[in-house]
Structure 1
Amino acid sequence: MSPSPLHEWDLAPREAIALQKRLAGRVEREDRLGEVRRIAGVDIGFEDGGATTRAAVVVLAWPPEPAGSLAVVEQAVHREPTRMPYIPGLLSFREVPAALGAFATLTTRPQLVMVDGQGIAHPRRLGVASHLGLWLDLPTIGVAKTRLCGRHAEPGPWRGDWVPLADSGAEGEEEVIGAVLRSRAKVKPIFVSSGHRVSLPTALDWVIRCLGRTKLPEPTRLADRLASRRDQKQNSTTR
């Protein structure tokens, strides 16, 4: 699956920030997704001291098998030279190109994508999950291990407990930008936010439904596991 180009990637930081502000207005925070039969998980990392970006995508069948596991339908690992140095707040310009390269090799089009990263829980409301969702024109959810911005109370200690993640909007008003979810009892929470075409309640519902025995939902957990396998380096595509 190869999406239509959304914009050029060769941008100076000031241009990238201006583009983020424009694209954030195109992010849909309400539900626009149909029946979900395939869920993709995305994990993006770096190698060679940051010179190479690595993206892993795992596509899973929904609903789960009788035993409770999610069957892997397709998977891909893509590596390419990193396009932008590390600049806080501009990680999507560093990460999304490789993710698009991985999606381009897939023959299966998922109906929902979970990304290891932020959705709208971003200072300019355009984290990697939102940016990728706009490029793919697919519903996406951000599932991050750490907070990038916003304030929150401590969620309860049990699996499924959550509290809102709030931040000041452009006009200074308080805005809920995500949820701080206890995905495993007495373990540090994860940060869930709308990416694109998914509301926060729906994002929370899907993340909880996809939880297994570990802290992360199965789509991003399996993408992370795929990305960490050294033997995948021989089978990955490079652009």
Structure 2
Amino acid sequence: MVRIREPHEWPSTVDEAQAVQERLRPSVRFAEPPEVRSAAGLDVAYRGSDELVAAVAVLDVASLSVVDSVVVRGVAEFPYVPGLFAFREAPPLLTALERLSVEPDVLVCDGQGLAHPRRFGLACHLGVLTDLPSIGVGKTALGSYDPPGEQRGEWTPLRLDDEVVGRALRTQRGVKPVFVSVGHRFTLDTACDLVLRLAPRYRLPETTRAADHLSRTAPTRP
């Protein structure tokens, strides 16, 4: 159901991959998204060094129930290089998105958006290629931050090279924050509001939890 609007050839070297990021980065847009009624969680699990399982789970934001899901098994075609994870994970995730029966209103990536050395993490990459609103919700910080207050909803800026690239957001009292950054066609305020809606009980958004469950429990390749 999701259409790839800005396809490109997938590079095989680090220099080529960085050139793709630099070329696509100006396409990132910041805007208030349309009404978000459905949100897709995206996650990739590895079985060994290169075999992977990419999962997309689309949730109804009001009920947090899963309305569609796709699992794709494959082999990573790009080496493990910090800052270039999209070139391992985006191809199977895009295949999964194309196989959905519905088009989600937003992509919620288990990773980074602008919080990236070239300001073009996985959430930006997938957002630009599909032209869908997208955000990154990372489990670990790429950058520096002061711990936010202990109450749910409190946050502090996430900085990289003295630039604010996202927020450390406390989704539950007394648990570690998550790290939210814009991917495409979103604002940081709205992204944090959405993450809190998607995380009523646990640290991670239900979108991420659903996709993670799918990727980890999918049967092994025959």
SS at match of 2:195: helix
- 2:195 aligned with 1:207, yes or no? yes
* Residue 18 (structure 1) aligns with: 19
Counterpart of 1:214, as a letter, is Y
Identity across aligned pairs (percent)? 46
* Residue 111 (structure 1) aligns with: 105
* Residue 123 (structure 1) aligns with: 117
Tell me which stretches of 4 or more aligned residues in structure 1 moved more than 4 Å.
none
1:102 and 1:82 mapped to 2: Cα distance?
15
Contact 2:61 2:198 in 1 (8 A): no
2:5 and 2:116 mapped to 1: Cα distance?
25
1:219 and 1:213 mapped to 2: Cα distance?
13
SS at match of 2:80: coil
Alignment counterpart, residue 154 of structure 1, candidates 139, 147, 162 = 147
- 2:166 aligned with 1:178, yes or no? yes
- 2:157 aligned with 1:164, yes or no? yes
The alignment's C-alpha RMSD in Å is 1.6
Q: Which runs of 5+ in 2 are unaligned?
A: none
1:5 and 1:11 mapped to 2: Cα distance?
19
TM-score (norm 2): 0.94
SS at match of 1:193: strand
Moved more, 49-58 or 115-124: 49-58
Shift of 1:5: 4.9
Q: Tell me the alpha carbon deviations over residues 22-44 of structure 1, each in whole angstroms, 9 at most, x when there is no partner.
A: 2111111232x212221111111
2:136 and 2:20 mapped to 1: Cα distance?
20
Alignment counterpart, residue 207 of structure 2, candidates 219, 231, 237 = 219
Shift of 1:99: 0.3
SS at match of 2:196: helix
1:57 and 1:225 mapped to 2: Cα distance?
10
Moved more, 181-190 or 193-202: 181-190
Q: Tell me the alpha carbon deviations over residues 148-190 of structure 1, each in whole angstroms, 9 at most, x when there is no partner.
A: 2x2211111121111011222xxxxx32100001112111111
Shift of 1:50: 2.1
Q: Which runs of 5+ in 1 are unaligned?
A: 65-69, 169-173
Q: Tell me the alpha carbon deviations over residues 176-211 of structure 1, each in whole angstroms, 9 at most, x when there is no partner.
A: 100001112111111000011101111101001111
2:191 and 2:5 mapped to 1: Cα distance?
25
Contact 2:57 2:207 in 1 (8 A): yes
TM-score (norm 1): 0.88
1:30 and 1:4 mapped to 2: Cα distance?
19
* Residue 67 (structure 1) aligns with: none
2:156 and 2:110 mapped to 1: Cα distance?
20
Counterpart of 1:103, as a letter, is L
